[in-house]
Amino acid sequence: SDPHLVERARAAKARLGDKVFVLGHHYQRDEVIEFADVTGDSFKLARDAAARPEAEYIVFCGVHFMAESADILTSSRQQVILPDLAAGCSMADMASAEQVAECWDVLADAGVADVTVPVSYMNSSADIKAFTGRHGGTICTSSNAQRALEWAFSQGEKVLFLPDQHLGRNTAVRDLGIPLEECVVYNPHKPGGGLTAEQLRNARMILWRGHCSVHGRFSLESVEDVRARIPGVNVLVHPECKHEVVSAADHVGSTEYIIKMLDAAPAGSAWAIGTELNLVRRLAKAHPDKQIVFLDKTVCFCSTMNRIDLPHLVWALESLADGKTVNRIEVDAETEHFAKLALEQMLALP
């Protein structure tokens, strides 16, 4: 990256000192990760943000829903900054507050809302988290989805899982042993979600029809191809991948899990990784003694994660150092109250 920008980022951070705390998600560019005080998956970063009450500014190098969650979990004195406001998440955008309210009405009409517990993936807007908190549910991330579902099924007969159908299905079937037939998909673009009342009554998992545009592109063929190309390869994928991909893989887990798995892998072992490309490239560089390949060469970066680049980070840090707040992410008080209930439920999971 541009040495001049690196120098400016360093200088701005030094001027800010302890006033700023920079968080970097594992999918961020190398040039950004270099300036992160901590890196992590979405669960770790949510906890890390909450554990820094002395920092006036939390600069979140990640996507919008992560910055919102950090704002909810930090004190109102602290300001959460997203270096580029266009860093959203296509999956989070697949569930709007209106659509989810309508879905809840559909469940009520079918007579199942009272026995349904909402579980929402961290990758959702603050509005969806507030809906979840209002209805006694919990947030989950890819590293605690199993515990979240187990807890939810101790509270009710059914789970409405938002917005990632793949994480919901993979966790229900693989980790809880729920039969595939007991998972139905609610399509917000169809009347009644495209489901009959009877289907809703028979289902245990009601999956929102959302997906990640990056992980959704890994295919069963990509797993078969890499196994043919590299005999003995270990296929390690993120649970946002389709069920057929996850079923064909050797290991499944969050970004933090993927990193730990490779740290523990023996020298000389071969790995094909199905997650975002910035992380896979960094892992390959960090482990020259192992063969680490990207599961499918036709899949690329998460375009919104990549919007946070060094020029945006430098601009945000220099503005803050000059006393000017830019790109603050602030969740309104009512939304925050209910979203916090659901986030705190997650943090309290056994």
Range in contact with ligand SF4 (rule: CB under 6 A) among 28-36, 86-94, 126-134, 280-288:
86-94
Q: Give yes or no for residue 254 binding ligand 13P (CB under 6 A).
A: yes
Say whether residue 124 binds ligand 13P (CB under 6 A). no
Which of 189, 185, 242 is CA-nearest to residue 212?
242
Q: Does 123 bind ligand 13P (CB under 6 A)?
A: yes
CB of 305 to ligand SF4, least distance (A): 5
Q: What residue 41 binds from ligand 13P, ligand SF4, none (CB within 5 to 8 A, per partner kind)?
A: ligand 13P
Do the beta carbons of residue 97 and residue 307 sit within 8 Å?
no
- Nearest distance in Å: CB 59, ligand SF4: 17
Element (DSSP H or E) covering residue 235? strand 234-237
Partner from ligand SF4, ligand 13P, none binding residue 213, C-beta < 5-8 Å depending on class = ligand SF4
239 is in an annotated binding site: yes
What is the x/- site pattern for ligand SF4, positions 200-229, by CB under 6 A?
Answer: ------------xxx---------------
Long-range contacts, 275-278 (Cβ 8 Å, 24+): 275/215, 275/237, 275/238, 276/26, 276/27, 276/214, 276/301, 276/302, 276/305, 277/301, 278/26, 278/27, 278/28, 278/29, 278/30, 278/302, 278/305, 278/306
In DSSP notation, 131-161 reads HHHHTT-EEE-TTTHHHHHHHHHHH-SEEEE
Residue 327 contact, options ligand 13P, ligand SF4, none, Cβ 5-8 Å cut-off depending on partner type: none
Q: Does 69 sit near ligand 13P (CB under 6 A)? A: no
Nearest Cα neighbor of 137 from 191, 166, 122 is 122
Which residues are known binding-site members for [4Fe-4S] cluster? 89, 212, 302
| Positions that interact with ligand SF4 (CB under 6 A) | 27, 63, 89-91, 123, 212-214, 276, 302, 304-305
